[in-house]
Amino acid sequence: MNPQSQSFRLDNKLAIITGASKGIGLGIAKAMSTAGASILLVSRQTPDLETAVAEIRAAGGQAEACPFDLHNYPQLNEWYSGVVAAHGIPDILVNAAGITRRGPADQLSLDHWHEVMAINLSAVFAMSQAFAQRLLAAQKPGKIVNIASLMTSASRPGTAAYTASKGGVGQLTKALALDWATKGIHVNAIAPGFIQTDLTGPLWNDPTFDEWVKKRTPMARWGQPADIALPALFMASAASDFMTGQVVYVDGGFLATF
């Protein structure tokens, strides 16, 4: 094998991935498994998690379900200790879990605002902190890949909570990268364009919006989870060892035009 291609391998690495039961998270889990990593899949939906684990194992990969509801992020550190005790210290963290609550800002409830912030931002910090604390104590390097959004740089009507949370993910990525840059823990983010997942189902099932996305995106299509998986694999691998604090837009050219 070409020595350079080895830089993209994840053999003997343990990756923990939130939102891993479907969509972008599952796409990343499958790509990292194919590259040699053992995968810990995190989601609150245990049946979906078991299905995802079975898919990865059927393809020859190693995967375990680690159910946790990120709404309960104040208890995350205790749960993470149990994960480490059972499986070892993860080398890679992918924060892919996310939710949205749509509606005009003047009508958005504070409960919905707090829920989006809890899952999309506070849980990302709590998970990153737990991940880094174990690596720092063991003096091991690691890679964090956060899933940001087009909304990290732009917005649409009715997305106040989601936009604010994803803007926070972009800035949090930079802040964590700086804190841990000399510790061997690299932190980067991928900002996907419009990707066909369960989360975006109300959008791509709307014929008018579907047509708008295809016309507005220079590549004239929706992205798929696989379009995000390989950039995530790069960020988790040795190929990105001189890269930290970056937010990379994988959007079919969406932000390159107007």
Report, as residue numbers or ranges, the catalytic residues: 162
CA distances from 4 to 38, 177, 244 (A): 22, 25, 20
Q: How far apart are CA 107 and CA 81, in angstroms?
A: 40
> What are the structure tokens assigned to 124, written together?
């990302």
DSSP state letters, 156-220: -TT-HHHHHHHHHHHHHHHHHHHHHGGGTEEEEEEEE-SB-SSTTHHHHTSHHHHHHHHHHSTT-
Q: How far apart are CA 19 and CA 30, in angstroms?
A: 13
Q: Which amino acid is at 167?
A: G
Sign of CA dihedral 231, 237, 239, 245: positive
